[in-house]
Chain A
Amino acid sequence: MVLSEVAKLSGGIVITSHSNTGVEVDYAFASDLMSDVLTTDIHNLLLITGLSNLQTIRTAEMADIFGIVLVRGKKATEEMKRLANEHGIVIIETEWSMFRVCGALTSAGLKPVF
């Protein structure tokens, strides 16, 4: 599933550069705990989180994650957007809850890590 489709299916909008919205993801991991995200060793992973700060973007960078869905109306700061764009990371903002996003994306075929 490409990231532009993830945005559509999770009721969200892409708020970073659109140049990487064609990147494919096969798996998703939902967590607000970045250390937990860093234990994953899977490619093509989407991060679904309610944690919106610079460490969210840094964690994605270190874990080779190119798509982040910020749930429940959390907004990315300008600094987060700048860092994400620098590393080709797509941020999607949605008003939906983490539960609803996970349900929608699971139904659409994204796979769990564990």
Chain B
Amino acid sequence: MLLLRQASNRFSEMELTYRVEGGDFAGAGHSSSEVKKVLKQLNIPPEIIKRIVVALYEAEVNIVAHAWRGVIMVEIDTSGIKCILEDEGPGIPEIDKAMEPGWTTASQAVREMGFGAGMGLPNIKKNTDRLEITSEVGVGTRVEFEVLL
């Protein structure tokens, strides 16, 4: 669901908010798709769009795969595109391990979607200029990343 809190034609001040439901495998990627549409309308260079939507899609799939629910916030201004994903969920006990390629706790259902091989967070890191992850076990996870323009 798109909740356009503040939108203007001015590229300098746009903020988009979406809600994501844990376990909604069919809907995973819907928010990233909506963000891609907006970035195309804003004439952001295609190579930047691809980096941001690949990172966002991986992060959105992580909420669907691991959390109970979450919110995606995307802030677009003249310096870059910032994404903040906050979820309520089990949290990540060891973030360093989660960043290691191949490390995963994904269920069979997630693997059947074509994910869950421990590539998501490394892939987000590869595509972004800044990545910060904080997590509290039993409460949730906050992922923030940015691609500079």
Chain A residues lying within 8 Å of B26, measured Cβ to Cβ, are 54, 79
**Is residue B50 contacting chain A, with contact meaning CB distance below 8 A?**
yes
Q: Are A35 and B50 in contact (CB under 8 A)?
A: no
Q: Are B113 and A55 in contact (CB under 8 A)?
A: yes
Of the residues A59, A62, A63, A79, contact of B114 by C-beta under 8 Å? A59
Q: Are A56 and B114 in contact (CB under 8 A)?
A: yes
Chain B residues lying within 8 Å of A39, measured Cβ to Cβ, are 119, 123, 126
**Is residue B117 contacting chain A, with contact meaning CB distance below 8 A?**
yes
Q: Are A36 and B119 in contact (CB under 8 A)?
A: yes
| Of listed B54, B58, B112, residue having the most chain A CB within 10 A | B54
Beta-carbon contacts under 8 Å, A57-89 to B: 58-59, 61-64, 79
Count of A-B contacts judged by CB separation below 8 Å: 67
Given the known inter-chain contacts A35-B119, A35-B120, A62-B36, please indicate yes or no for A41 contacting B114, CB distance below 8 A. Answer: no
**Is residue A106 contacting chain B, with contact meaning CB distance below 8 A?**
no
Q: Are A62 and B50 in contact (CB under 8 A)?
A: yes
Q: Are A35 and B29 in contact (CB under 8 A)?
A: no
B32 to A, closest residue via Cβ = A62
**Is residue B33 contacting chain A, with contact meaning CB distance below 8 A?**
yes
- Complex CA gap A32/B117 in Å reads 11
Chain A residues lying within 8 Å of B50, measured Cβ to Cβ, are 41, 62-64
Chain B residues lying within 8 Å of A41, measured Cβ to Cβ, are 50
Q: Are B114 and A35 in contact (CB under 8 A)?
A: yes
CB-defined A-B contacts under 8 Å, sample of 26:
A33-B119, A34-B114, A35-B58, A35-B119, A36-B119, A37-B114, A39-B119, A53-B112, A54-B26, A54-B29, A55-B28, A55-B61, A55-B113, A55-B114, A56-B114, A58-B28, A58-B29, A58-B32, A61-B33, A61-B36, A62-B29, A62-B33, A62-B36, A62-B53, A64-B50, A79-B26
Q: Please give me the 6 A-B residue pairs with the lowest Cβ-Cβ distance, nearest first.
A: A34-B114, A58-B29, A35-B119, A62-B57, A55-B113, A51-B114
Give residues in A with beta carbon < 8 Å to B. Answer: 32-39, 41, 51, 53-56, 58-59, 61-64, 79
Starting from the known contacts A39-B123, A53-B113, A58-B33, 12 additional A-B residue pairs (CB-CB under 8 Å) come to A33-B117, A35-B119, A36-B119, A38-B119, A51-B114, A54-B25, A55-B61, A55-B113, A58-B28, A61-B33, A62-B36, A63-B54
